[in-house]
Amino acid sequence: MTREKRTLLLAAPRGFCAGVDRAIQIVEKALVKYGAPVYVRHEIVHNRYVVENLEKKGAVFVDELSDVPADVPVIFSAHGVAKSVPAEAEAKKMFFIDATCPLVSKVHREAERHKKDGQEIILIGHKGHPEVIGTMGQLAAGEISLVETVADAENFEPKNIDGKLAYLTQTTLSVDETRDIVATLSRRFPSIAAPKKEDICYATTNRQAAVKELASQCDGILVIGAPNSSNSMRLVEVAKKIGCQHVSLVQRATDIPWDNLQGCQTIGITAGASAPETLVEEVTDAFAKRYDVTIKEVVKTEEHVTFKLPRELENVSE
């Protein structure tokens, strides 16, 4: 029997960014160097497949340092932590390794610099996200104000009479939505200080640009990622905003909404920055079992970014 044809367009770039790759390597190399178990405070990245694979190798994921035995290494997640976390670890004489993405660390240093310069700080981000908690925790409570929407930016009132303001952003936001928030703040406060270099990370920007490229060519789009992954959820929003009618977030091939895609001849596939290529292959294999598929890659840009590992793990071979 002749099978129906489907064209799959794979976004490039997609999947792991350099910060995620580094964080996973940190856990894997720590397991090699120190042996299991190695504890990790919170999910190292927001992807259950990645977390479960690391658990199989001996990583133990916990919510707080109080859950970590005193004599084992603990790793802080890629999203970054408040200053109180390493301070607590030091007070307890724990051995810890910080897997914070260097681009998140850059935002942390900016917060400290703005505070030193006497500027009131606005953080554009999503309340409750681990990265936002970590960034706001670089300074004392109340010293960074969170703005989530254009309406928030319109209603924000500075505490300082002199109006010395600066803004930072979460690294995984919607580029377009953040641009609108920044425009509102800049209109209201023309002298507000911007980051010296864009805070939204290269990987977030590139993956959103790539999904825009896909959206104009597809009937449906699948974003592979976790519902608690900010960058994955932003990809879903971007694809919908461009006008693609059938956009779904899937964690695994088992989540593919086949009924919703029934009339779609060309399906775009992308993956959030914490989703491994293995899951992309799993999804394309699932399509190949049902349809006669043609797979093409749509390259928007190429990435060649890498980040160094912490010194204590640089020479560890897996």
Q: Which of 153, 188, 223 is the last residue of a domain?
A: 188
Are residue 34 and residue 88 in the same domain, yes or no? Answer: yes
Task: Determine the 3-state secondary structure of 296 from DSSP.
Answer: strand
Catalytic residue flag (residue 302) = no
Question: 232, 231, 210, 222: which is closest to 284 by C-alpha?
Answer: 222
Of 127, 160, 188, which residue sits at a domain end? 188
CATH code (residue 96): 3.40.50.11270
Asked if 23 and 69 sit in the same domain, the reply is: yes
* Structural domain includes residue 274: yes
**Residues 28, 43, 110, 131: which is the catalytic one?**
131
**Alpha carbons within 13 A on the beta-carbon side of 132:** 18
The residues near 40 (Cβ < 8 Å, ≥ 6 apart) are: 27, 54, 59, 60, 61, 62, 74, 75, 77
| CATH at residue 131 | 3.40.1010.20
Query: Does 212 lie in the same domain as 157?
Result: no
Do 84 and 133 have their domain in common? no
Among candidate residues 58, 85, 101, the one where a domain is terminated:
101
Residue 224: count of CB within 10 angstroms of its CB: 30
Confirm if 182 and 213 have CB atoms less than 8 A apart. Answer: no
Domain ranges, residue 293:
5-16+202-299
Query: How many domains are contained in the chain?
Result: 3
Q: Tell me, yes or no, whether 156 and 83 share the same domain.
A: no
Please tell me the distance from the alpha carbon of residue 27 to that of residue 25, in angstroms, as a whole number: 5
Same domain, 232 and 269: yes
Query: Are 258 and 277 members of one domain?
Result: yes
Per-residue pLDDT 10s for the chain (318 aa) are: 689 999 999 999 999 999 999 999 999 999 999 999 999 999 999 999 999 999 999 999 999 999 999 889 999 999 999 999 999 999 999 999 999 999 999 999 999 999 999 999 999 999 999 999 999 999 999 999 999 999 999 999 998 777 799 999 999 999 999 999 999 999 999 999 999 888 999 999 999 999 999 998 999 999 999 999 999 999 999 999 998 989 999 999 999 999 999 989 999 999 999 999 999 999 999 999 999 999 999 999 999 999 999 999 988 886
